[in-house]
Amino acid sequence: MEVKIHGKNSCLVENGDSTLYRIDKDEFSNGMATVRNNLIRIMEKDLFKAKELRELIVDLKPPIFKHTSTAYNLSGPASQAQINVDQRDAIEKVMCAKDYALVLGMPGTGKTTTIAHIIRALVSQGKSVLLTSYTHTAVDNILLKIEDDAVPILRLGSVGKVHPDIPSFATLSGIPCKTMPELERSWRDSKVVATTCLGINHGIFNHRIFDYCIVDEASQITLPVCLGPIRLAHTFVLVGDHYQLPPLVQNKEAQEGGLDVSLFKLLSDKHPQAVVNLEHQYRMAEDVMLLSNRLIYSGRLKCGTPAVAQRMLEVSNAEAAMEAHHHRTSTITSQHCASADQTCFLRQALTPSRRVFFLNTDTITHPTSSVEVMQGQRITNPTESLLTAQLLTTLIRSGVPARSIGVITFYRSQLALLRHDVKAIAGTIAASEVEMHTADKYQGRDKEVILLSCVRSNESNSPGYAHNANAEGQEMDGNTILKINTQPSNYSQLVKHARLPAYKAPKKLVKGQVKVSSDNASSVLASNPITHDIMNDMDMRMDTSNGKENKYATAAVTKKVKSQDISAFNSDEFFGDEDDEMLIDF
């Protein structure tokens, strides 16, 4: 037999009796072809589940739930005491589901932990589970949680992509079985089969239908990809959070056609009764959580325990770092830190109780020196980069390990500058240990401290990618470095905020005393959004200090208003001592 290479992706095989075969390499066998195949399969007439899936996904028929679940247990190494009320509801919802159940896990709320419990509950009833996710890492993170449960697991995927600890408790398809009975056992008897959503081309799926399919990271997976695993099981469970990153779809036409709407979002928007929310998180201190809560979750996110809420950064040697910084011969750039007293921005940033610290660089440098620099497509902010490097160095000298600090920015050009400055100021070793990435690359990483360089500072007040961090009063526009102390935190939210399409005008909290003369009080008050609803609270008085009798009215006001409403209001009409000025907060 003779084999000739024919072009880049095919070869010709001649077998002597003049029959010519051409073998083509299908470059897309694991990508587009799988996706196309998923779509074709659910359109087939008699294929398992095709009709039901069309009803549920195309016709959006409401899913059915049993009133109570059949008994199950969560025994094994997992302590039931570690399951909170939402997680228990999620397990119960899945156990009652006939068609599907949706678990919306806000950041750090234990999605992985809950999926592990769901698997335990299902296996305790003798059910089989196909476990999938978008990434190998997510699949393995779940498997590692059931490592000690002695559940027979088959992990499909090439050995190089599987976590090194998995082979110690699961069978790997990438490591061939030595005998046929061994192979058959692993295909037939594994209660849990785990792979990525695109890993469903394996031969086992021609032989097995599963009781349940669980898809983790489901809100990041496009609908056609998601169809692949769910058509292989009687009931499916999607776990995700559509408030975080949606499926990455770059083609405009595909976006317009709705490809960036995941099946998770489609079903949860249509059937909220099928969704269980995981709302107790164990990752972020309360102040850090506030950011996500105000911007995205409408206050629904809660700290799992008081200890989580009160977590603080451990700064063991702050004074030494400050001394080194303010010393005349300091090698740390100190030109941007004018004073060694309490007003020093480094000292403020290092204070453990300030878990979130917004730094307006205009307050420590001249505003013109901290504006952004545009060179073609490249946008950088050199002053902000230097300040970030300076703060980072101070944190390290204060005893915060370099590997527990992360630096995030929205622009690649700024990232390059930050890497350069951090290396120059903090040193090569520290620079190699600090993880620095653009916001989209930081998803799912945990750090004790995050420094965020927002970059944009310009006359037109364009906040660029950071524009949505402005929503609901987060003052992150322009010259702002955000330092978040947490143990640890989730940054995917920041990414999400930066990408939300709609711009909301920033709001500011106004606290103060309003004073108006009685003659025009009602018209002044009624016409301004700050005061229009405090008429009844006005306190009428008489002022005789200038020898005349002048009537006036005062009232305290504390409310959130749009910035333009503040400027529209005549600030002379606010009065009082120094504490009674307009305060801006979030």
246 makes contact with ligand ATP (CB under 6 A) = no
Q: Tokens standing for 33?
A: 């072809």
**Are 246 and 261 in contact, with CB atoms under 8 Å apart?**
yes
Residue 282 found at the interface with ligand ATP (CB under 6 A): yes
Q: Closest separation between CB of residue 59 and ligand ATP, Å?
A: 31
Does 383 sit near ligand ATP (CB under 6 A)? no
Q: How far apart are CA 433 and CA 20, in angstroms?
A: 58
Residue 444 Cβ, how far from ligand ATP at the closest point, in Å? 5
Structure tokens at 162: 């599987």
Residue ranges with strand state E in 454-568: 480-485, 507-517, 539-543, 550-562
> Which of residues 167 and 304 has its CB atom nearest to ligand ATP in the complex?
304
CB 114 within 8 A of CB 103: yes
Asked if residue 109 binds ligand ATP (CB under 6 A), the reply is: yes
Tell me which stretch binds ligand ATP (CB under 6 A): 53-61, 105-113, 319-327, 469-477. Answer: 105-113
Residue 169 CA neighbour count, 13 Å, CB half: 16
Indicate the residue among 47 and 85 with the shorter CB distance to ligand ATP: 85
> Judged by CB under 6 A, which stretch of 101-109, 461-469, 520-528, 558-566 contacts ligand ATP?
101-109
Contact 473, 444 (CB under 8 A): no
Quote the least distance from Cβ 263 to ligand ATP, whole Å.
18
User: Hey, what amino acid is at 92?
Assistant: E
H runs (alpha helix) in 125-179:
136-145
The contact mask relative to ligand ATP for 425-464 (x = CB under 6 A, - = no) is -------------------x--------------------
SS3 content of the chain, % helix, strand, coil (to 5): 40, 20, 40
Work out the end-to-end distance of the chain between its first and last CA atoms, rounded to an integer number of angstroms.
76
Alpha helices in 404-483 (DSSP H): 412-426, 428-433
Among 63, 108, 478, 512, binds ligand ATP (CB under 6 A): 108
Q: Which CB atom, from 10 or from 75, has the smaller least distance to ligand ATP?
A: 75
Smallest gap from residue 49 Cβ to ligand ATP (A):
28
The CA-atom distances, in angstroms, between 34 and each of 57, 136, 229 are 19, 17, 11
Q: Which stretch binds ligand ATP (CB under 6 A): 77-85, 151-159, 287-295, 326-334?
A: 77-85
Q: CB 82 → ligand ATP: shortest distance, Å?
A: 5
Is position 113 an interface residue for ligand ATP (rule: CB under 6 A)? yes
Sole residue written with tokens 């920033």? 506
Q: Which is nearer to ligand ATP, 99 or 241 (CB)?
A: 241
The separation between CA 565 and the C-alpha centre of its own chain, rounded to angstroms, equals 33
Of residues 160-189, those binding ligand ATP (CB under 6 A)? none
Residue 87 beta carbon to ligand ATP: minimum distance, rounded to whole angstroms: 6
Q: Which is nearer to ligand ATP, 487 or 531 (CB)?
A: 487
In the complex, minimum distance from the CB of residue 169 to ligand ATP, in angstroms, rounded to a whole number: 19
Figure out which of the listed residues 87, 268, 293, 398 binds ligand ATP, where binding follows CB under 6 A: 87
Between 186 and 490, name the residue whose CB sits nearer to ligand ATP: 490
Cβ atoms of residues 281 and 301 within 8 Å: yes
Q: Which of residues 118-147 bind ligand ATP (CB under 6 A)?
A: none
> What phi and psi values does residue 229 have, to the nearest 5 degrees?
-70, -35
The nearer residue to ligand ATP, 80 or 462, going by C-beta atoms, is 80
Q: Of 407, 403, 287, which Cα lies nearest the Cα of 352?
A: 287
Least distance to ligand ATP from the beta carbon of 110, Å?
Answer: 3
The nearer residue to ligand ATP, 81 or 502, going by C-beta atoms, is: 81
Buried b (16+ CB within 10 A) or exposed e, 278-293: bbbbebbbbbbbbbbb
Residue 473 is a binding residue for ligand ATP (CB under 6 A) = no
| Whether the Cβ atoms of residue 131 and residue 138 lie closer than 8 Å to each other | no
- Nearest residue to 467 (alpha-carbon basis) of 475, 459, 400: 475
User: Measured from the CB of residue 134, what is the shortest distance to ligand ATP in angstroms?
Assistant: 12
112 binds ligand ATP (CB under 6 A): yes
Report the alpha-carbon distance of residue 223 to residue 215 in Å, rounded. 12
Comparing CB distances to ligand ATP, the nearer of 296 and 426 is 296
Q: What does the chain come to in residues?
A: 586
Among 152, 167, 174, 304, binds ligand ATP (CB under 6 A): 304
Cα distance between residue 96 and residue 67, in whole Å = 7
Q: Which window, 68-76, 108-116, 322-330, 508-516, contacts ligand ATP (CB under 6 A)? A: 108-116
Say if residues 491 and 443 touch (Cβ distance below 8 Å).
Answer: yes
Q: Dihedral (C-alpha) 419, 462, 494, 395: value to the nearest 10 degrees? A: 40
Identify which of residues 90 and 455 has a Cβ nearer to ligand ATP in the complex: 90
Q: Taking each helix axis from N to C terminus, what angle separates 382-397 and 318-326, rounded to the nearest 10 degrees? A: 130
Q: To the nearest whole angstrom, how small is the minimum distance from the Cβ of residue 86 to ligand ATP?
A: 9
Among 38, 57, 93, 111, binds ligand ATP (CB under 6 A): 111
Query: Taking the complex as a whole, how short is the minimal distance between the CB of residue 437 and ligand ATP, in angstroms?
Result: 16
| Whole-number Å distance between alpha carbons of 525 and 383 | 43
Q: Pick the piece of the chain touching ligand ATP (CB under 6 A) from 60-68, 81-89, 311-319, 541-549.
A: 81-89
Q: Is 488 in the site for ligand ATP (CB under 6 A)?
A: no
Q: Which residues pair with 560 in a beta bridge?
A: 509
**Residues in binding contact with ligand ATP, number by CB under 6 A:** 17
Bridge-based pairing of strands 129-133 and 192-196 is parallel
Structure tokens at 452: 């965020």
The alpha carbon of 53 is separated from its chain's Cα centroid by a whole number of angstroms, namely 30
293 binds ligand ATP (CB under 6 A): no
- Residue 284 or residue 417: which is nearer to ligand ATP going by CB? 284
**Chain residues 489-528 in contact with ligand ATP, contact rule CB under 6 A:** 490
Q: Which is nearer to ligand ATP, 311 or 515 (CB)?
A: 311
Residue 80: count of CB within 10 angstroms of its CB: 10
Q: Which is nearer to ligand ATP, 82 or 273 (CB)?
A: 82
Which spans of this chain sit near ligand ATP (rule: CB under 6 A)?
82-84, 87, 105, 107-113, 282-283, 304, 444, 490
